Each structure stands twice: as C-alpha cells, then as structure tokens.
Structure 1
Amino acid sequence: MKFFATLASLITLAAAAPAPSALASPQGLNAGVVTPSKVRVVGLSLLGSGCPAGSADVQIDATKTLLEVTFSEYIIQTGPGTKASEWRKNCKLTLNLEFDEGFQFATLATSFAGFAQIPKGARGLCTNTFDFTGVAGSSSYSISLVGQREGPFALSADPDITSWSPCGGTTSIMNMNTQCNISPTQSQALIAVDRISGKLTLNVSLEWRKCK
C-alpha cells in the first residue's frame, strides 16, 4: 500500500537523517527585552505514548526566548490494519527551569513542525497545553491539519490565555502536554516526524519579565 510504503521510507530517512543544526533565533525577538543572564534545564521527565524514554529532547536558544522540544518517535496513523493505540498519541513533559532570581516567564506562541499525510475528508488535530506547578490556570494552543494534504508542515498557534510562572525563586516547573489525533480513523492518514530532520518539533516562544 502507498500509505505503508510512505511510512517505511519516512522511518528509514529519519534514522539516517543528520543531527539538526543549532536553534535559529527569531530576528528581533529579544530586542529591548530584559531576560535572565542564564536559563537552563535542570530536570526533565516524560510520560506518554508519543515519547518513549530517550525519544525527546529540550533545548533553549541563546536569547532565552525560544524553547525547542523535539520528538523522534511521535507517529500517529489511522486506517485499515492500524490499532486504537496508534490513532492518538500524547506526551506529558515536566520541565524544571533554572534562571536568575527575580524573573518570571510565560509562553507566547507555539509552532509545530513535522510531516502529515491527510486525505480529503479527514483532519488531524494537535493541542499543546502548558501550566506551572503552584499556579492556577493553563495556556492552550491548537492547530488543525485538514485534508487533503501530503508533505511537511509548520503551523503556529497563539494562546487562549496567558499564564505566568510564579515569582520568588530561581526555578520553576512547567508542565507541557502535547497530544495529536486523526479522525475519522477509517481513513489512511499519518502525522509523524519530518523526513529531513527525523523529528517532530515543538517550538515555544517565551516572554520574560521582572517580578514586582
């Protein structure tokens, strides 16, 4: 079948793909903005069908305003011969960030990039939700992949509301839940890693401010 031939070639290419280059920072994103002098990941835990152990990575760019999360085994597929466990994938990341005292941050926007094969009449939906331990409320971002389409995608979303990390320390725990599904499940469809990078990539823009 064309669908499974595509999947097989995709996985082969992903395995042979070179390591991605350093993060690219949006031009002017950090101009005139006060940011901590250092930001680093001091703890990361993963849970979910879209991120088996060792299959996800988190990096922060030099401006401290772009967080990149990459998944190497995040593949959703539907159609004849597939199982219910393949129709929907998710990954819950608990991320502990360390930074200079007196700052707090929020997520501004997200962009999701990968490969999709969605036939006419079908739709893929990916939702990213963020919240901070100790703070009420969350921010949610959703993108739709409406058929008919086949090829790489890079789609952005703005938050429904903005939630800020707590003040009063040098670390903050951010919880991220990324989930994707395809419907109807009878259609042969696919959302997966990009053919060139071998990754499904979630970029998160961060905004920093001084605590009052």
Structure 2
Amino acid sequence: MKFFAPIAFILPLVAASPAAVPRQGLTTPSIVPGDVKVIGVSLLGTGCPPNSADVQVDATKTLMEITFSEYIVQTGPNTKASEWRKNCKLTLNLAFSEGFQFATLSTEMRGYAQVPKNTRGICTNTFDFTGIQGQANYGISLAGEREGPFTLKADPDVVSWSPCGGTTAIMNMNTQCSISPTQNQALIAVDRISGKITVQLSIEWRKCK
C-alpha cells in the first residue's frame, strides 16, 4: 500500500561571505532595502520538476517563502528507490537596493508526515552564494511515531552574508529529504490543506561598510 498526502516545508536562505559569522555576533538591523524582488528561479532535482516551485518575499523584506507542490518522499512495500529520497537544487536570483547585504537567520518547515515507530525522516538544507566561499547548513528530524501536520524550526551554527558591491545576489539552496529504514511504510509529503511544501526563511539585512 502506498501513501499519498500533501506536505509543506520551510527552509533557510543563506548568504555567504568570505568568512562565516557566529550567530551571537549579529545585531538587529534598523533598516531594510526599499526594493527587494525575485528576478529569476531555476530548479533541478527529483523533488522539484519544472514549474513546481514558487518564491515570494513578504512586504517587510524579512521573510522569504518557497513552496514546492510535488515534493513527496515515501517508503515501504511496493515503493521504488527513487521515492525514498528526494532533492531539489533551487537557484534564486534576488535583486535589491544598492549598498545592502543579507543573511538567513532561521528556517521553518511545515508539512505532513506519517512516520511509524523505529523510523526517522531527515531533511537537510544547504545554502550558499555563487562566487562566494562558505555555506550555511540546516537539519530537521522527524522521528516516529507521529502522524499529522508538523511545524519545525532550525537555526544554523553560523550565519553567512551575501557579498557587497552589487544590487543582485544568486543564492543556491539544496534541500534533501529521506526516510529510513526504507522497508517501513512512511511518508513525508505536501500538506493536506495547502498541497504544498513551504520553506520559509527569516532574513536579516544590513548596510555594507
């Protein structure tokens, strides 16, 4: 018997700068750019076929939401190896006012899961900026026994910043979810109500020096 249900994830956004900064070194910014918009999105991976993801930035410019409509992981009898693990590499081109840089402070995942006892689902999210060394990593665990919607938050050990000196930044987000052991019947899928996996990123802005 195979599961089929919807899921919603919230994942992080990471800006990378030559050196990562410990979280405790951050301060709350007093200003944000006057204009922030998404000018390009590309998708690659088993969890995000073409035209299955959408990216939005809220009015405060401090929250980014990425939704996936076809991200479903399931294990158990009659499932295939390709269903046990899903991934998506999302490349996002973000435009904003000159003189700013940003970092992602936390991520929130919302979705639906059916995970029996002695079974565990794991989702990992990695973020970096094109042309800049450094990564931010987030991990979320869904241990059994559980069934129903979930909301889980994760914070990185370090925070990286997007490069200064321009009005755009290309962020790469690589998310992967899996379930083990694969012989147990389990599911991580799009939320039953929204039919989406939603990745929400809390963003902090600061003026470039």
Normalised to the residue count of structure 2, the TM-score between the two structures is: 0.88
Q: Which has the higher helix share?
A: 1
Using the TM superposition, give the Cα deviation of residue 160 of structure 1 relative to its aligned residue in structure 2, in angstroms.
2.1
Q: Distance in 1 between matches of 2:72 and 2:64?
A: 22
Q: Deviations over 1:122-150 (max 9, x none)?
A: 00001111101121110011110000000
Distance 1:169 1:32, change over 3 A: closer
Q: 1:208 aligns with which of 187, 205, 209?
A: 205
2:133 matched to which residue of 1? 136
> Does the alignment pair 1:162 with 2:159?
yes
- Contact preservation (8 Å) 2:123, 2:176: yes
The RMSD of aligned alpha carbons is: 1.3
1:93 matched to which residue of 2? 90
- Contact preservation (8 Å) 2:89, 2:172: yes
Q: Distance in 2 between matches of 1:178 and 1:65?
A: 21
Gaps of 5+ in 1: 15-30
Normalised to the residue count of structure 1, the TM-score between the two structures is: 0.86
- Contact preservation (8 Å) 2:29, 2:205: no
Q: Distance in 2 between matches of 1:128 and 1:33?
A: 28
Distance 1:158 1:32, change over 3 A: closer
1:199 matched to which residue of 2? 196
> Does the alignment pair 1:37 with 2:34?
yes
Q: Distance in 2 between matches of 1:52 and 1:69?
A: 14
> Does the alignment pair 1:124 with 2:87?
no
Q: Deviations over 1:73-130 (max 9, x none)?
A: 0000000111110000011000000000000001100001110000000000011111
Q: Distance in 2 between matches of 1:118 and 1:32?
A: 40
Using the TM superposition, give the Cα deviation of residue 158 of structure 1 relative to its aligned residue in structure 2, in angstroms.
0.2
Secondary structure of 2:158's partner? Answer: coil
- Contact preservation (8 Å) 2:39, 2:94: yes
Q: Which runs of 4+ in 1 moved over 2 A?
A: none
1:115 matched to which residue of 2? 112
> Does the alignment pair 1:80 with 2:74?
no
- Contact preservation (8 Å) 2:112, 2:190: yes
Using the TM superposition, give the Cα deviation of residue 32 of structure 1 relative to its aligned residue in structure 2, in angstroms.
6.3
Using the TM superposition, give the Cα deviation of residue 179 of structure 1 relative to its aligned residue in structure 2, in angstroms.
0.7
Q: Deviations over 1:173-211 (max 9, x none)?
A: 000011100000010000000000110111000110000
Q: Distance in 2 between matches of 1:52 and 1:59?
A: 18
Letter in 1 for 2:31: V
Q: Distance in 2 between matches of 1:36 and 1:144?
A: 34
Q: 2:145 aligns with which of 148, 155, 171?
A: 148
